[in-house]
Structure 1
Amino acid sequence: MKNILVPVGTTESGINNLKYALNLASINGGKVFLISVYEDESKLKDIANVNEFWINEKRQQLKDVMNGVNSEGVEVITQSIKGNPFEEIKKISKKENIDLIVLSPQSIEIDDKVYLGTTTAKILKQTEIPLLIVPNGYLFRKFDSILFAFKNGHFKKENVLEPLKYMKSTFDSKINLLHVITPEATEESKEIDTELTTLKSSLTTTKNATTFQGVLEHFQSHNPDMLCVVRRKRGFFKKLWEKNIILKRDFHTSKPLLVLSGIQE
């Protein structure tokens, strides 16, 4: 994870996420890209003044975020960008070979009933880059234990498990697998790829109606430092494709959430 992207929503969440990214980057000589994106206001009459306002506003926000952290020893590249936030994140991710995007559950809007707000949810939908969703105010700590919850043990896309391999090699993390067998599980989904089993410290197989119910049942006994899942079009991630939002009643966690790339059915 040499290149880490931190998109800024609010200044407060930006400081929190940048601190987290800096800790990750400092371990292996990584680089952090801190960006703030503003929409094109070309439909407004006084285009020049409006754009100048947002340029200055976003530049100041980036300065405020940088002033809120100690970035010594880590290269941080800041950039304010005009355009669609989701398209610009995809562009810079490709251009800079981004390995990980660090986000807050709710980047701008705050709602106690919501786990993933619309901005974070849309980024999760539209990027192939692994995401690390860090709870507001959560301090960085070594990942001694990671709980990886999944329904399908077969991964068609290559390199899906690279972030887990990195965590294991860097932090000597214990990778505890939670294989959730749901009523619609196929025989293929019940099998687990060798690439994954070689990473495991433990394997728990559980039968539940949903992956989230499996996580709820076994979360406390594992007490992980990080929860890991794969992007899917079903289960609690189904809400992303329907409403660009995930309510806490459908899924939530108080620990950092690593969302692996690739989409499973």
Structure 2
Amino acid sequence: MRHTIAILACALLCISFNACDNGISKQTLPDGSLEIIEGSLVKGVKKIYSRDGALLSNIEIKDSMPNGMCVYYYSNGKAKSSVVARMGKKDGVETEYYITGEKSKEVSFHMGKRNGKYRQYYRSGKLKSDQTYAMSKGLGDLKEYAEDGSIIPLAQMEVAVANGIKSVGKYDITVNMNPVINTYRLYAKYPIVSDTQPYKKIRVINGKGSIEIYRSQLTSKREVEIVVFYKTKFDNEYKVSRIVTL
């Protein structure tokens, strides 16, 4: 009886694909790419090929989720990124590469959240930036480096709530920006309840701003996370610097 059920289950799985032969299932996706499952969705390897036949991804799966080594590729065949997944979530060091093959980024994850080092690299292999995370929260400022190894100065901030939020009231914030900062935007969330909690924009005039805490916002944690999005004269893209104040 069990043997019959197993055969029927396998047959039903194969029907959902265009082909099922020797443990290999194939189907054409809506965008024209080809998906191949070696083994089964319970345990196997899923590969995606472009219309031109180039391998785009090679993902170990278990129970229909990424579980094991996951590698993604550029159309030229070089690796784009690689990471180990566990139960469908990134769990380990994710490495990204330039299209020419050099390493561009390393990010440590624990069950889908950044946890550990976040580093970017120049094509030459020299360190471009460095920051540490703890369960998706940035610890301290992002450190950036020029290709010659010198440190690129970042935004410097003084926050009036350095000793923590003691009660309701208005708290002043003074922002001192290094001359290399072209433009910046300031946001905060307080007290911190969850990672998905939205940030609130802080209006800053002549380097002065404020946040106001209401009684309904007080929690047992009483944390404030200040976030600066800024551009430097070295790079026209917004970067992020965080300060977490307890």
TM-score (norm 1): 0.25
Larger radius of gyration: 2
Q: Which has the higher strand share?
A: 2
Structure with greater contact order relative to length (CA < 8 Å, sep ≥ 6): 1
Structure in which a larger fraction of residues adopt helix: 1
